[in-house]
Structure 1
């Protein structure tokens, strides 16, 4: 269906791909992964609009291939007066109306042959998308996504997550040869995430999906494309198997790389000795020996182990604070309510202590973001904030905290940094190279913008963090780095998230929005609720064990204990069989 050979492409300020090759075949469900800013969305756009790009190499796309697309950005505001059924069935309804119109025209027209031809073309198109049974087909998809109850609602009444699922259903029912989705999971709650998983797994056709969601990656795909450091690797199989293969490769190559480095170091000592001898002795043989050794060193350096899929940059996120608080109540909410067209939250009461790490969860559209923003703005008499508290805020709407017209450099001068060197040094911890800091923030990927937000939050050295979907758009490596930063942070955190792994790994307890108010729930009860309603307990417990072994392997590699790393790898392989 799609084949790329030695494809290369670069922006003026950044090279994205260097001779990458891959193929995509019928009925493959392919996950497209890679670190933030590696060029995944750009490659998707090249596939969809190749004539817009000046790239080197070959990109072959079946001329009959119809491509459907689901953007990472929902556009809900233009759909106010249409029901969910009408929105999904637009193509069906349009063709049905055309058939009715042609039939009516036939009753009075003298030029029946042209109308018959038009009628047949329209009928073929109608039948191609299952027209005779279109209502039943839509109902099946809505049931699969657990959205049947919304069939007759106006689209404008849906939450952002529900609308994203409706977009996916609509694309699937138009029966393109290939559907491309760019982070369709962003901001989905637990229920909607499971619905997306079902839609993907029951789809008969080819899918190419950019995602960093660990749950979807582990459950939905039979092919992986991994873009990293300008190179691309393709793997036929599940993400779990790919990840294990990557880890094994890392163990092998790191051991070889150390042997390489030792050989290069030994050769460098020999070259220095020969140079010292050559300065005292001008014999031609000595010069030949030196030249031979230098050539050997050049060959060693050229073949030194360099593996783009092993040497993956992980940002170094650290949350420090200027003023560590004793065990006090950092903020208190008293009888808080919020409503728009209807009441979202009513009589909400809770308090957070200075070292509490709390997840705020609830279905899409229940007022979580409004509550978090109100706490940060500190403009409600119903919210008490301790005078010693200094807050920092990360927004799911990145334009709230980042000026997209600024360059990265300008943004951090505005944040209080004094020199270029200070900004360059600081942002290198977050994976931003020196040449990228003169780019406009608006040109960055969603993940890069979130990393910039995290860098700004960290720079504030606050003792209370308000984080609204902090893992959204982040690649899996950045998510793990953020988990470490949260685990090590000594202050209080109130975080909106639908990332089960992140919540269970980092939070002390959960505040659940239930019937327009908040309930405090222990992690133990929260996990039981998740097991009962959303995810398999056995799977999630195995996943936790898997993460624990992977962490031990990383530590063994850090300590150059390859024997232990290989032994743990065998243990991990047995665990993966159970997954």
Structure 2
């Protein structure tokens, strides 16, 4: 389907790929992963329109390959006055109308041969997308996504998550040879995420999907492309097996690399000794011994084991507070209601203590973001915030808290930093250094923007954090770093999230929106609810243990304790079998 051979590409300020190669075969479901800003979306752009880019190497693809594409950004505003059926079936309806028009024209035209040719072309295109069975196919896809009842709704009546699924269905029904999706899971609620999983797994064609979603990664793919540090690693198999293979490779390579370094160091010491002897002894044999040893060193350097591929750039996220306080009621919400065209929330009541870590969950479009924004603005009589509480806010709409025309440096001057040195020292912890700090924020990836938001939230030293979808766009390494920061934080957190893992790993309890009100749910009940709908028993606990062992292996490797790393990898393999 696609063959990439030794492809290299650079921006003026950044090298993206260094001789990367991979093969994507017909029918494979491939996850494309890597840290935020590593160039995944750019590589997708190159595949879709190679003529726009000046790259080295080869990209081979059938010139007749039809590509379907789902962007990470919604185009809802462009087609809001269309029904769901009309939007999904646009190509089908267009061909159907064209065939009808040609048939009508045939009744009065004398140029039948030309019209017959046009009729056959239209009919072939009609048949290629399912033709006579098209409406039945639409119904099956909508049913698979649990959206059958939405068929006759206007697109403008859909939530953002529902529209994303409709986009996926539309592209699938056009029967592309290759379907590409860029983070289709962002902002999907639990039910819609499960529907996306079902759509991906039911698709018979070739898929290339950028995603950081751990649920999809564990359940949907039979090939992994991992882009990191300008290099690409290719793995045929499940993501869970790839992660294990990656750690095994790291253990083996790191052990070999250290042995190599030790041998090179010993040889260098011997060269220095021989050089000293040859300098003070004119015998030719001494010079020959030195030259021979230098050649050995050159060979050792040439075959030196490279540092392991899995040297991941993980941000060092931490949330500190200037004003750590005794346990008090930080926030009270009394009889809160909100409505737009219809009532979203009615007579909502809850309170959060200054040490509580709380997840706010509910289906797309139920008013979660509106509530969080109203709490931050503190502009409702129904919201009472303790005067000792200082809040910081992370928005799912990144332009709400970041000025995209600013450079990173300018953004942090605006946030109260005084000097270049102070900013550079601070944001280097979050993975921003070198020329990137002078880039416009608008040119960054979605994940990089979210990490910047997290850096600004941390710099505020607030003792209550309002986080709206903080894991969206984040790579898995940044997600894990965020979870650790939340775990270590001493203040209160109210977090909107559809990420099962972050909620299960970090939160004390859940506030769930159902039937236009909010009720409190213990983590035990939340896990039961999630298991009932999405997981086998104990899945999340096993995932958590797996993550813990992976972290211990990384620490053992950092301390060059290879025996411990190998023993832990056996424990990890046993857990993977349970999953």
Structure 1 length-normalised TM: 0.96
Q: 2: distance between equivalents of 1:368 and 1:59?
A: 44
Task: Tell whether the 8 Å contact from 1:229 to 1:308 is kept in structure 2 after alignment.
Answer: no
The 1:285–1:94 alpha-carbon spacing in structure 2 relative to 1, beyond 3 Å, is same
Q: 1: distance between equivalents of 2:253 and 2:167?
A: 43
Look up the match of 2:451.
451
Instruction: Look up the SS of the partner of 1:136 in the other structure.
Output: helix
Question: What's the CA shift for 1:156?
Answer: 0.4
The 1:83–1:466 alpha-carbon spacing in structure 2 relative to 1, beyond 3 Å, is same
Instruction: Look up the SS of the partner of 2:332 in the other structure.
Output: strand
Question: What's the CA shift for 1:418?
Answer: 2.0
Question: What's the CA shift for 1:486?
Answer: 0.7
Task: Tell whether the 8 Å contact from 1:228 to 1:308 is kept in structure 2 after alignment.
Answer: no
Question: What's the CA shift for 1:147?
Answer: 0.5
Look up the match of 1:474.
474
Question: What's the CA shift for 1:77?
Answer: 1.4
Q: 2: distance between equivalents of 1:371 and 1:25?
A: 46
Instruction: Look up the SS of the partner of 2:103 in the other structure.
Output: helix
Q: Could you list the per-position Cα deviations for residues 484-520 of structure 1 after superposition, in whole angstroms to 9, with x for gaps in the alignment?
A: 1111111111000000001000000000001111101
Task: Tell whether the 8 Å contact from 2:178 to 2:208 is kept in structure 1 after alignment.
Answer: yes
Q: 1: distance between equivalents of 2:519 and 2:314?
A: 36
Look up the match of 1:12.
12
Q: 2: distance between equivalents of 1:485 and 1:408?
A: 22
**Residues 171-182 of structure 1 correspond to what in structure 2 (within 5 A)?**
171-182=171-182
1:147 matched to 2:172: no
Out of 508-517 and 120-129, give the one that drifted further. Answer: 120-129
Question: What's the CA shift for 1:552?
Answer: 2.7
Task: Tell whether the 8 Å contact from 2:254 to 2:308 is kept in structure 1 after alignment.
Answer: no
Instruction: Look up the SS of the partner of 1:77 in the other structure.
Output: helix
Q: 2: distance between equivalents of 1:457 and 1:236?
A: 39
**Residues 559-570 of structure 1 correspond to what in structure 2 (within 5 A)?**
559-570=559-570
Instruction: Look up the SS of the partner of 1:429 in the other structure.
Output: helix
1:200 matched to 2:171: no
Q: Could you list the per-position Cα deviations for residues 169-206 of structure 1 after superposition, in whole angstroms to 9, with x for gaps in the alignment?
A: 00000001000000000000110010000000000100
The 1:308–1:164 alpha-carbon spacing in structure 2 relative to 1, beyond 3 Å, is farther
Instruction: Look up the SS of the partner of 2:227 in the other structure.
Output: strand
Q: 1: distance between equivalents of 2:508 and 2:431?
A: 29
Q: 2: distance between equivalents of 1:293 and 1:404?
A: 57
The 1:294–1:27 alpha-carbon spacing in structure 2 relative to 1, beyond 3 Å, is same
**Residues 293-304 of structure 1 correspond to what in structure 2 (within 5 A)?**
300-304=300-304
Residue ranges of structure 2 left out of the alignment (5+ in a row) = none
Look up the match of 1:496.
496
The 1:73–1:132 alpha-carbon spacing in structure 2 relative to 1, beyond 3 Å, is same
Look up the match of 2:184.
184
Instruction: Look up the SS of the partner of 2:78 in the other structure.
Output: coil
Residue ranges of structure 1 left out of the alignment (5+ in a row) = none
Q: Could you list the per-position Cα deviations for residues 410-431 of structure 1 after superposition, in whole angstroms to 9, with x for gaps in the alignment?
A: 1111112222222222222111
Question: What's the CA shift for 1:273?
Answer: 5.2
Q: 2: distance between equivalents of 1:465 and 1:290?
A: 64
Q: Could you list the per-position Cα deviations for residues 390-426 of structure 1 after superposition, in whole angstroms to 9, with x for gaps in the alignment?
A: 1111111111111111111111111122222222222
1:122 matched to 2:111: no
Q: Could you list the per-position Cα deviations for residues 82-133 of structure 1 after superposition, in whole angstroms to 9, with x for gaps in the alignment?
A: 1111111111111111111112222222222222221121111111111111
RMSD of Structure 2 on Structure 1 (CA): 1.9
Q: 1: distance between equivalents of 2:110 and 2:275?
A: 100
Q: 2: distance between equivalents of 1:485 and 1:279?
A: 58
Q: 2: distance between equivalents of 1:284 and 1:327?
A: 81
Question: What's the CA shift for 1:296?
Answer: 5.1
Question: What's the CA shift for 1:143?
Answer: 0.4
The 1:576–1:401 alpha-carbon spacing in structure 2 relative to 1, beyond 3 Å, is same
Look up the match of 1:91.
91
Question: What's the CA shift for 1:293?
Answer: 5.4
Question: What's the CA shift for 1:279?
Answer: 7.5
Look up the match of 2:63.
63
Q: 1: distance between equivalents of 2:284 and 2:398?
A: 67
**Residues 99-498 of structure 1 correspond to what in structure 2 (within 5 A)?**
99-270=99-270, 300-307=300-307, 309-498=309-498
Task: Tell whether the 8 Å contact from 2:253 to 2:308 is kept in structure 1 after alignment.
Answer: no
Q: Could you list the per-position Cα deviations for residues 437-473 of structure 1 after superposition, in whole angstroms to 9, with x for gaps in the alignment?
A: 1111111111111111111111111111111111111
Look up the match of 1:549.
549
**Residues 525-544 of structure 1 correspond to what in structure 2 (within 5 A)?**
525-544=525-544
Task: Tell whether the 8 Å contact from 1:84 to 1:152 is kept in structure 2 after alignment.
Answer: yes
Task: Tell whether the 8 Å contact from 1:231 to 1:308 is kept in structure 2 after alignment.
Answer: no
Q: 1: distance between equivalents of 2:272 and 2:360?
A: 62
Question: What's the CA shift for 1:280?
Answer: 6.8
Q: Could you list the per-position Cα deviations for residues 193-252 of structure 1 after superposition, in whole angstroms to 9, with x for gaps in the alignment?
A: 100000000001000000000110111111111111111111111111111100101111
Q: 1: distance between equivalents of 2:297 and 2:466?
A: 53
Task: Tell whether the 8 Å contact from 2:79 to 2:155 is kept in structure 1 after alignment.
Answer: yes
Q: Could you list the per-position Cα deviations for residues 551-579 of structure 1 after superposition, in whole angstroms to 9, with x for gaps in the alignment?
A: 33223223322112112212222322232
The 1:296–1:460 alpha-carbon spacing in structure 2 relative to 1, beyond 3 Å, is farther
Q: 2: distance between equivalents of 1:433 and 1:302?
A: 30
Q: 1: distance between equivalents of 2:145 and 2:76?
A: 18
Instruction: Look up the SS of the partner of 1:493 in the other structure.
Output: strand
Task: Tell whether the 8 Å contact from 1:512 to 1:518 is kept in structure 2 after alignment.
Answer: yes
Task: Tell whether the 8 Å contact from 2:249 to 2:308 is kept in structure 1 after alignment.
Answer: no
The 1:308–1:184 alpha-carbon spacing in structure 2 relative to 1, beyond 3 Å, is farther
Instruction: Look up the SS of the partner of 2:380 in the other structure.
Output: coil
Q: 2: distance between equivalents of 1:509 and 1:232?
A: 40
The 1:272–1:375 alpha-carbon spacing in structure 2 relative to 1, beyond 3 Å, is farther
Q: 1: distance between equivalents of 2:165 and 2:469?
A: 19
Look up the match of 1:79.
79
1:37 matched to 2:28: no
Structure 2 length-normalised TM: 0.96
Q: 2: distance between equivalents of 1:265 and 1:421?
A: 36
The alignment covers a number of residue pairs equal to 579
